[in-house]
Each structure stands twice: as structure tokens, then as C-alpha cells.
Amino acid sequence: MIGELGNSGSIPVLHAAMNFAARRHQLLASNIANFSTPNFVPLDVSVKGFQKQLGEAIDRRRDQMGSAAGELQLKATSEVRQDATGRLVLRPSTPNDNIMFHDGNNRDVESQMQSMVENGTVYRLASDMLKARFDLLRSAISERA
């Protein structure tokens, strides 16, 4: 029963969103850290692509289980897949909307910083919502509703 509580409702969705944001944050931090490295090429993954992938996984879970319960299985795409343990693995590509500078560096610090802030906000929102779900479960289990 306890295992089913962790795989029901929004908990797996919020967990996947947090995992994606955490992995993407590493990419964005590397891009910013290497901002002035000659010939450095920034990497990123498509947020819209992951959102679509997550939405399709939610729909499949609903269709297969008849409810919002059960494991959330993301189908692999060219950028995001789940490994055997359920951890998200990103395969980033080079965004083509940056500016090529004379030193061979393809960068746009403003858009990188904006992406970092947006990504951090997504992570914070998902973690706050996940904490609220766990607090609700904890309250129900301890019968302090």
C-alpha cells in the first residue's frame, strides 16, 4: 500500500519534473561557467519536448490504469530517456539561436541566465508541490487530518 501511495496522483509527475530540472541545471551551469572558453559550444535540451513527453506518459498511465495511479514511464526521445533505475538521462544538443563570436564561442549569456532562472523556478515550484503532497500523506497516515 505504501508503494502505491508514492506512485499515485501527481507525485511521480512532480518527481520527473524535478529530475529534469536538476539535470538541465547542470547543463546550464556548465554553459555559464564556460562562457569565455574559446570554441566552447553550449548544450541544452528542449523543455517543450520534455513537457510533451511527460504529458504523453501521463495520458498512457491514465489509459492503462484507468486512473492517475501506477508508475510513470517516459518513452525515450532523442534528448531524454529513463535508465533502468528510473533516473533521467539527458542527451543535449547545441541550440542554434546563439551568437557566434570572433573567438569561436557560440554564446548568449542573457538567454543562458534567463534559462537558469526559469529552470530554477520550475524546480522550486515542483519541490514545493511535492512537499505539500508528502505533508498531506504524512498527516493522513498519522490520522491528524
Residue 144 has pLDDT above 70, yes or no: no
78-110 pLDDT per residue, tens = 999 988 888 899 999 887 665 555 555 656 778
Whether 23 is in a domain gets the answer yes
Is residue 40 within 8 A of residue 34, CB to CB? The reply is yes
Mean pLDDT computed over every residue of the chain: 83
pLDDT of residue 104: 55
**Domain span at 92:** 2-137
Whether 101 is in a domain gets the answer yes
Domains in the chain, number: 1
How many CB atoms are closer than 10 A to CB 39? 9
Whether 91 is in a domain gets the answer yes
57-69 pLDDT per residue, tens = 988 888 887 766 6
